[in-house]
Amino acid sequence: MTVIAARKTKDVITFASDSILVAGYLKATDKEVIYNKLFQQNDMVIGSTGTGYEGTMMELFSRNHRPVDGSRLAVIDFFVEFREWINKRDSSHSPENDYLIAYDQKLFRTYGGLDIYEVPEFEAVGAGEDFAKAALHLGHSPREAVEVACKLSIYCSEPISEITIEI
């Protein structure tokens, strides 16, 4: 129940995220909530869609883990390590969130596991991804793409967070 959009240009990678949190039938929208679905640390920007639990575990893991380089296989290995790390702490959890990750001047997308590919220009993940991808395809910024998703999807809500990194 979210949307995260990213665009890579020759100079920057820009991410934008909505702020909705859903628990059962309850919705919270607050930019300063404890679970942060879009964060920057350890030379990476990571956006996580799915459970807040897994997103928080990724935030904890990525404080002192990162891919060995910017190759697709290194990013896959990073997620293999994450699976092993999370299994040591909670053997009942199997990672399944979708992620956008920027590392080493590259942008990657995961599909709930180890299906990972490098994104050449733009991508979106989450419940509002179709709306956001259409906006990105039409040349809009990630912020504008998230705004569109927030207007058209009941599963996305403002306020919007942004992170831009130079490449």
- Beta-carbon contacts of 7 under 8 Å, excluding residues fewer than 6 positions away, are 13, 14, 121, 122, 136, 141, 142
CATH for 138: 3.60.20.10
Can you give the residue range of the structural domain that contains 77?
A: 3-166
Strands (E), 19-68: 20-23, 26-29, 38-41, 44-49
Task: Per residue of the chain (167 residues), give pLDDT as tens.
Answer: 899 999 999 999 999 999 988 877 777 766 555 467 999 999 999 999 999 899 999 999 999 999 999 999 999 999 999 999 999 998 888 889 999 999 999 999 998 778 999 999 999 999 999 999 999 999 999 999 999 999 999 999 999 999 999 99
What is this structure's pTM? 0.93
Specify the number of domains making up the chain.
Answer: 1
Give the integer Cα–Cα distance in Å for 66 and 62.
Answer: 6
